[in-house]
Amino acid sequence: MGRFNVAVVLMMVLPLLICCYLVTVKVLSFDAFVGMNGFYFLLAVIFAVLGLLVGRQVLQDLLRQLVEANRQLATFNQRQAEFVNHVAHELRAPLTVVKGALDNLADGLHGSMTPDQLQPVRMSLQETDRMKRLANDLLDLARIEAGRVHLERRELHLQELLQGLAATYRPLCAQRGLGLTVELPPEPVRVWGDRDRLSQVLINLLTNAMKFTNAGGITLELRSEGDAVEIEISDTGSGIPAGDLERIFEKFERVESDDRSGAGLGLPIARALTQQHGGRLWATSELGKGSQFHLRLPIGQPTIPGPS
């Protein structure tokens, strides 16, 4: 029997003895300390002291083991992050060279190519782009997790930001036969945020909405809600199973039935950046009908304002 079990048994004996003690004697009477009652009382005290001593020792040992396991886990996590960071870094440079060479081939810099020759070059280019995106996402996530991303906060006019994004993405949506609607309140809505990083979050949500929607469209809606603002990006796409709504914000996690390309890093990056702004990002969805991603940001300046 382990020491933990011994401690538990000893501690369980105590209430049993106290029960025997209470059934046989009236509380607060001198009879409590004589004859069998006194024996029960003594036994209860001995077991209680033993239980406490062993329990204390066991808890101390457990605590020590937990602290050590935690320390090892933190070291392991840090080494793993450093390794991923290193690999992603090392991959980026050769990928840039390969992409450059493939671009030159595709552009006919080394002589014209037949369509049959061009097709594998274009395919390789697509794959190189995908690997570059993956390397960049891995580096980005490593920087965010290590707290090395510093937000350049400024006052942002959200209507202007969303209209700018919609103007860029409307033609791409149209190419896929999708509509892009923007619903904005008449009064100006401003937040204190990093323009590039918030755009990165919104672009990730918009490109996902486009990727997972075959018909219908995407809506970008901005709402003021008390001391916060909410941007909702909704689509009429495949939807996400209820059990996956939180999981997709974890690294490398994707909806199981989804066979489209992607590494599952966009949403964890988007959530981490939102949280750095003091906000929240979550999803709601109805399978087969579409999904909504909610980006909630606090209004108002932080206590330590960024450069303006």
**Residue numbers of the site for ligand ADP (CB under 6 A)?**
204, 208-209, 212, 235, 237-238, 240, 248, 254-255, 258, 262-267, 291
- Rounded Cα–Cα distance for residues 250 and 264 (Å): 8
Return the number of the residue (192 or 212) whose C-beta is nearest ligand ADP.
212
DSSP 135-158: HHHHHHHHHHHTT-----EEEEEH
Q: Output the smallest distance, CB 243 to ligand ADP, in A.
A: 12
Helix (H, G, I), strand (E, B) or coil at 277: coil
Q: Output the smallest distance, CB 208 to ligand ADP, in A.
A: 3
Return the number of the residue (17 or 281) whose C-beta is nearest ligand ADP.
281
Q: 216: closest CA among 171, 168, 167, 177?
A: 177
Return the number of the residue (55 or 264) whose C-beta is nearest ligand ADP.
264
Burial category of 198 from C-beta neighbours within 10 Å (exposed 0-12, middle 13-18, buried 19 and up): buried
Return the number of the residue (271 or 277) whose C-beta is nearest ligand ADP.
271
Q: Output the smallest distance, CB 267 to ligand ADP, in A.
A: 3
Q: Output phi, psi for 280, to 5 deg.
A: -135, 145
Q: Tokens at residue 132, please?
A: 């570059």
Q: Output the smallest distance, CB 107 to ligand ADP, in A.
A: 28
Residue with tokens 């409590």: 32
Q: Output the smallest distance, CB 260 to ligand ADP, in A.
A: 7
Q: How many helices (H) and strands (E) does the chain have?
A: 6, 7
Return the number of the residue (267 or 272) whose C-beta is nearest ligand ADP.
267
Return the number of the residue (51 or 237) whose C-beta is nearest ligand ADP.
237
Return the number of the residue (39 or 230) whose C-beta is nearest ligand ADP.
230
Q: 221: closest CA among 300, 293, 297, 270?
A: 293
> What count of other Cβ atoms lies within 10 Å of the Cβ of residue 164?
12
Q: Output the smallest distance, CB 207 to ligand ADP, in A.
A: 8
Q: Which segments of 212-292 does DSSP mark as H helices, in order?
A: 266-276
- For ligand ADP, the nearest residue by Cβ is 262
Residue with tokens 């024996």: 39
Q: Output the smallest distance, CB 212 to ligand ADP, in A.
A: 3
Q: Output phi, psi for 221, to 5 deg.
A: -125, 135
- Rounded Cα–Cα distance for residues 294 and 282 (Å): 5
